[in-house]
Structure 1
Amino acid sequence: MLSIYKDLDLEIPEGVTVEVNSRLVTVKGPRGELKKNLRHMAMDIRLVKGPKGNKVKFVVWHGDRKHSACLRTAQASVNNMIKGVTIGFQYKMRAVYNHFPINMIIAGDGKSLEIRNFLGEKRARHVQMAEGVTIKEDKTQKDQVLVEGNDIELVSQSAASLHDVTLVRNKDIRQFLDGIYCTEKTSVVQVEA
């Protein structure tokens, strides 16, 4: 017998509140608040209150294979929002150079970065962090910066902008390996395993 609907559940941890208003999801936690519009996905998103705790239920009615695949995507998006408001996201970006040392100058507010002396060039490159994302110097490692925030999409986009601005053009990339690379993706609040 073919099922007329498919569903997935997501547990809501203690200290986190989730509100759903016509597929506009708002998650509040100790690190702040995140909102995401999931109206482009044709599915039901409901809050289910139970004795064992609250859940978010994602339901697709009469879905084919591709439509049902949206369930996992929506669940992962809300799960990333819950992780963001509880432990946050941190990308470690390291400057790698062979001959000319790359100078990274962080603005006083931690919202932008200036890159100088990349491959010996005189021009300065500026990278603006996305809204809600901060950048700071890593005290434990030389030539490394930490990109931190609550929204994984904005943190990863800011890290990608750092990498993209130092791509080597019109040279053999097997020889010219200089640039800023992501060395580790972790959380701001360290969780004991």
Structure 2
Amino acid sequence: MATSTEQEIMAEVKIPSGVKLTKEGSSIVAKGKLGTVKKDFLRIPVTITIEGDKATIKPYGKRKRDLAVTNTVRSVIQSMVKGVEKGFTYKVKIIFAHFPISVKVKGKEIHVENFFGERSARVARIQGDATKVEVQGEDVLIKGPSLDDVSQTAANIEQSTRIKDKDQRVFLDGLYIYTREEGM
């Protein structure tokens, strides 16, 4: 008879009183004062149970990889809870040397106009319904409850002003992420 010294892998997430966490099929929904964040865990090999004020995550296996997957799911759920409770803010700086860049929010798109004197605007998409974008002087503020949506919107803005076919050490014009914060 072989005895196993392996320990069961498990992770828990404590749910604060102002946040409601529910399970809908393979999705987890976090509701709080700043809105709702929904994430699908269909393709991830873990079992998530929600009882009272904590969520428990158990993987299917007992290998090192399963521990990594479990900790990743725990981090994702923690960021969902943090997002509906406090929110996330990314700040993007507008930098130009010669041609003054103007940034405008039009619906679900951000238009970067007069970039290197170009006649047509460069366009970046705003991800998610709850993500808010505002321009304050030389800063663009991106706020929302979903870390995925806020960070992807900031990345879209930064990528829209990427310079090709020029030396990037000399031509520094563009929009660059410079601060990531919790709270809105």
TM-score, with structure 1 as normaliser: 0.87
Q: CA RMSD in A?
A: 1.6
Q: Kindly report which structure 2 residues correspond to 1:112-151, keeping only aligned pairs within 5 A, or say none.
A: 112-132=109-129, 133-138=131-136, 142-151=137-146
**Offset, 1:75:** 0.5
Match of 2:157 in 1: 162
Q: Does structure 2 conserve the Cα–Cα contact (< 8 Å) formed by 1:23 and 1:44?
A: no
Q: Does structure 1 conserve the Cα–Cα contact (< 8 Å) formed by 2:31 and 2:84?
A: yes
**Does residue 1:27 correspond to 2:30, yes or no?**
yes
Q: Kindly report which structure 2 residues correspond to 1:32-111, keeping only aligned pairs within 5 A, or say none.
A: 32-49=35-52, 54-107=53-106, 109=107, 111=108
Partner SS state of residue 83, structure 1 = helix
The count of residues paired between Structure 1 and Structure 2 equals: 180
Distance 2:7 2:61 in 1: 5
Partner SS state of residue 177, structure 1 = coil
Aligned mate of 1:179, from 140, 162, 174: 174
Distance 2:31 2:75 in 1: 17
**Offset, 1:89:** 1.0
Summarize the Cα distance change of 1:62–1:131 in structure 2 as closer, same or farther, 3 Å threshold. Answer: closer
TM-score, with structure 2 as normaliser: 0.91
Distance 1:4 1:41 in 2: 21
**Offset, 1:3:** 2.5
Summarize the Cα distance change of 1:23–1:5 in structure 2 as closer, same or farther, 3 Å threshold. Answer: farther
Q: Does structure 2 conserve the Cα–Cα contact (< 8 Å) formed by 1:5 and 1:62?
A: no
Q: Does structure 2 conserve the Cα–Cα contact (< 8 Å) formed by 1:102 and 1:116?
A: yes
**Offset, 1:48:** 2.9
Q: Does structure 2 conserve the Cα–Cα contact (< 8 Å) formed by 1:28 and 1:34?
A: yes
Distance 2:163 2:71 in 1: 37
Unaligned runs of 5+ in 1: none
Unaligned runs of 5+ in 2: none
Distance 2:50 2:176 in 1: 40
Q: Kindly report which structure 2 residues correspond to 1:1-12, keeping only aligned pairs within 5 A, or say none.
A: 1-3=4-6, 5-12=8-15
**Offset, 1:127:** 1.9
Partner SS state of residue 9, structure 2 = strand
Q: Does structure 2 conserve the Cα–Cα contact (< 8 Å) formed by 1:135 and 1:146?
A: yes
Q: Does structure 2 conserve the Cα–Cα contact (< 8 Å) formed by 1:90 and 1:185?
A: yes
AA partner of residue 114 (structure 1): H
Q: Does structure 2 conserve the Cα–Cα contact (< 8 Å) formed by 1:4 and 1:62?
A: no
